A and B are shown apart, each in its own frame.
Chain A
Amino acid sequence: MIKRVRFHGRGGQGMKTASRIVGTASFLEEFFVQDCPLYGAERRGAPMVAFTRLSKEPIFERGIITSPDINMIADETLLGDKSANVFQGTWEGTITIVNTHYPASHVRNVYGVVGEIVTLDITEIALNVIGESVLSSTAAAVVCKLTGMITESSLEKAVIKELSSINLKKELIEKNLQAALTCFDRIPETHPHYFEPIKEDKMDEIVKLEYADPRIGTPSVYAKGNTRLKKTGNWRLFRPVIDHEKCSRCRTCFVYCPHSCISIDEGDYPQIDYENCKGCLTCFYECPKKVISKDHEVRAW
């Protein structure tokens, strides 16, 4: 039996480590196992994925998992993000687990998820127990339980091993362990979908590439400034909000925005491009009048 786990998060949230904790725990169970992260062009804050495969038989697969058995969505803002494509290849046998305080039925209603869906507010658990929203050990614990193949003691050892390897302090590892075990307990022992998934690959087909005009056949970009289309606003955890009534129009925020997301309008007031603002909060800290506030980003729906 093979379980293919895909982790969706944002750079810095700990999904690479989560995939490794599950990998190590499976290794300790003496399964065949692979884990790997996928690096895109994006740096910290951008959507990323990581994978773990565990199996009782040798694994004849490698690389990205296009169709997961367990789909961990550690950041709910990714749900609505087309570029993150978190539901790619999910099917009736997939268990999707979303880190949110909403009930599963709500997620299903809004996103029409295929397969089983489980929700758990692991951020809250992390904040309560660890004190910061690092999700590596908690997300890993949820996944370990969902596989139905990993024991609590292997999870424990794996958390210690992986977190020590990234030089986390002892106290923090302790807290992570506690949070992980809390999550492990919160996921029920058995589940209707804990069965051997049966699935046929949807067949793609081979096409013949034709020669293209070199203007097209070379990686050149002719459009001006089209990174705008990337809409990096979804990287944001906090939203800067300007109180225009109190703003002195000094332009400090405009000058210091690294991402060209603040423009000056006709009335000489700064306006934030929320479609792209990454939420670095430089403007918030630099505003001399302190008239920019930061709001926890509204939920993805």
Chain B
Amino acid sequence: MSMKNAVYTKFKDISREEHISPGTALCTGCGGLLALRLAYKVLGENVVIVNAAGCFTLLSVYPYNPFSSSWMYTAMASAPAGAQGIRDALDILIKKGKLKSEENLKVVVLTGDGAANDIGLQSTSAAIHRGLDFHYFCYDNEAYSNTGFQMSSATPYGSRTATSLPGEINPQGTVQRKKDLFEIWRAHKPPYLATVSPSHPVDLSNKFEKASKFEGPKLFIALSPCPPGWSFGASNSVNIARLAVQTGIWPLKEAVYGEVKHTVIPKFKPVEKYLRTQNRYNHLFNPVKQVDVIDNIKKDVEQYWERYLDS
């Protein structure tokens, strides 16, 4: 699917400039880091990242910092409030003439799915409600990874986590369905909202580019394959992200003032193919195949797409 404002059509359009240096403490093959790196290429240098507790806090561990721009760690719950403070301060200082307008920065919130869906949902909702001019980059690795991969409300049904292990009572692992953060955010009608995947760099770049034309909240949820948490080899992040898109598990979409459009229509590869790439789903196949659970996952995907392909 092509986009009206598309400026990226091929890999060669993607900037060669790097804004996150090598050498961070993040895991080998971290999918979220790849997504952030690609996003940064569009955001450029004049950025201040406001980070919540999570794996990505460890991007910057004293005395090191991988950025060509600014950064501030806040707390798990309130990165969007931190962004509010910085945005407000920049605005008032520029208005008062205490800061030159060329010193202005884009304010970017960076949190995991746990912060976004759970403890930080209130401060996010409030920031969107206030119309804060900021980007929110949520790397969704579908659990509390930094603390050892416990269940968050973004953990998908059927996934094993350290606090939703498959057992006698719940052989499927996680019982709950993944919270629909996209829809929660969309209900606030922000100017721009999108899902992205590191496997689709052109789509990702176009979305960040398009978002830059809007003032107000610009929100992104990036699928972030996590080798240790999802339990797969470090070389497979891009492939797994691609499969998530191709199977329809991870819809690539955007919403402008609440109006949803899918930017990639999947090939609907078998969902099983995706599940089998990760050992967090191993219990669905071994020692016995949990057909009902796998069917439920399939059904969820089908139902989702039926809704959108009909309309």
Find out whether A and B make contact in their complex, taking CB atoms under 8 A apart as touching.
Answer: yes
How many residues of B sit at the interface, in one of the four size bands? Answer: 35 or more
For window 82-124 of chain B, which residues contact chain A by CB distance below 8 Å?
A: none
Residues of B within 8 A of A278 (CB): 28-29, 234
Q: Are A227 and B24 in contact (CB under 8 A)?
A: yes
Q: Check: B25 CB closer than 8 A to any chain A CB.
A: yes
Q: Are B22 and A43 in contact (CB under 8 A)?
A: no
Q: Check: B65 CB closer than 8 A to any chain A CB.
A: yes
Q: CA separation between A229 and B67, bound complex, in Å? A: 13
Q: Are A285 and B236 in contact (CB under 8 A)?
A: yes
For the complex formed, measure the closest distance between the CB of A11 and the CB atoms of chain B, giving whole angstroms: 8
Q: Are B65 and A226 in contact (CB under 8 A)?
A: yes
Chain A 250-294 near chain B by CB (<8 Å), digits 1 or 0: 111011111111011000000001011111111011100000000
Residues of B within 8 A of A275 (CB): 22
**Known interface pairs A41-B61, A251-B14; A260-B27 also in contact (CB < 8 Å):** no
Q: Are A43 and B55 in contact (CB under 8 A)?
A: yes
Q: Check: B68 CB closer than 8 A to any chain A CB.
A: yes
For window 217-261 of chain B, which residues contact chain A by CB distance below 8 Å?
A: 227-228, 234-239
Q: Are A260 and B18 in contact (CB under 8 A)?
A: yes
Q: Are A251 and B11 in contact (CB under 8 A)?
A: yes
Q: Are A264 and B238 in contact (CB under 8 A)?
A: no
Chain A 205-227 near chain B by CB (<8 Å), digits 1 or 0: 00000000000000101011111
Q: Check: A37 CB closer than 8 A to any chain B CB.
A: no
Q: Are A259 and B33 in contact (CB under 8 A)?
A: yes
Chain A 149-190 near chain B by CB (<8 Å), digits 1 or 0: 000000000000000000000000000000000000000000
User: Per a CB cutoff under 8 Å, which of B16, B55, B58, B63 touches A263?
Assistant: B16
Residues of B within 8 A of A227 (CB): 21-24, 59, 64-66
Residues of B within 8 A of A202 (CB): none
Q: Check: B3 CB closer than 8 A to any chain A CB.
A: no
Q: Check: A231 CB closer than 8 A to any chain B CB.
A: yes
For the complex formed, measure the closest distance between the CB of A130 and the CB atoms of chain B, giving whole angstroms: 18
Q: Are B23 and A229 in contact (CB under 8 A)?
A: yes
Residues of B within 8 A of A228 (CB): 21-23, 66
Q: Check: A101 CB closer than 8 A to any chain B CB.
A: no
Q: Check: B26 CB closer than 8 A to any chain A CB.
A: yes
Q: Check: A191 CB closer than 8 A to any chain B CB.
A: no
Q: Which residue of B lies closest to A257 (CB)?
A: B34
Q: CA separation between A219 and B236, bound complex, in Å? A: 36
Q: Are B235 and A281 in contact (CB under 8 A)?
A: yes
Q: CA separation between A163 and B12, bound complex, in Å? A: 48
Q: CA separation between A263 and B21, bound complex, in Å? A: 12
Residues of B within 8 A of A277 (CB): 22
User: Per a CB cutoff under 8 Å, which of A229, A273, A285 touches B238?
Assistant: A285
Q: Check: A235 CB closer than 8 A to any chain B CB.
A: yes
Q: Which residue of A lies closest to B148 (CB)?
A: A39
For window 63-77 of chain B, which residues contact chain A by CB distance below 8 Å?
A: 63-68
For the complex formed, measure the closest distance between the CB of B30 and the CB atoms of chain A, giving whole angstroms: 6
**Known interface pairs A44-B228, A251-B12, A260-B21; A221-B27 also in contact (CB < 8 Å):** no
Q: Are A45 and B22 in contact (CB under 8 A)?
A: no
Q: Are A44 and B37 in contact (CB under 8 A)?
A: no
Q: Are B237 and A282 in contact (CB under 8 A)?
A: yes
**Known interface pairs A251-B12, A277-B22; A45-B235 also in contact (CB < 8 Å):** no
Q: Which residue of B lies closest to A226 (CB)?
A: B64
Q: Check: A230 CB closer than 8 A to any chain B CB.
A: yes
Q: CA separation between A265 and B292, bound complex, in Å? A: 52
Q: Are B227 and A44 in contact (CB under 8 A)?
A: yes
Q: Are A221 and B28 in contact (CB under 8 A)?
A: no
Chain A 60-82 near chain B by CB (<8 Å), digits 1 or 0: 00000000000000000000000
For the complex formed, measure the closest distance between the CB of A266 and the CB atoms of chain B, giving whole angstroms: 11
User: Per a CB cutoff under 8 Å, which of A44, A221, A250, A260 touches B22?
Assistant: A260
Q: Check: A17 CB closer than 8 A to any chain B CB.
A: no
Q: CA separation between A279 and B235, bound complex, in Å? A: 8
Q: Could you list which residues of chain B lie within 8 angstroms of chain A, going by C-beta atoms?
A: 11-12, 14, 16, 18, 20-31, 33-34, 37-38, 55, 58-68, 198, 201, 227-228, 234-239
Q: List the 7 closest pairs (A to B, CB-CB), nearest first.
A: A225-B21, A276-B22, A280-B29, A227-B23, A43-B27, A281-B235, A258-B34
Subset of 16 A-B contacts with CB under 8 Å: A40-B25, A42-B58, A43-B26, A44-B234, A221-B62, A225-B65, A225-B67, A226-B65, A230-B24, A230-B25, A230-B64, A251-B14, A256-B238, A259-B33, A278-B28, A282-B29
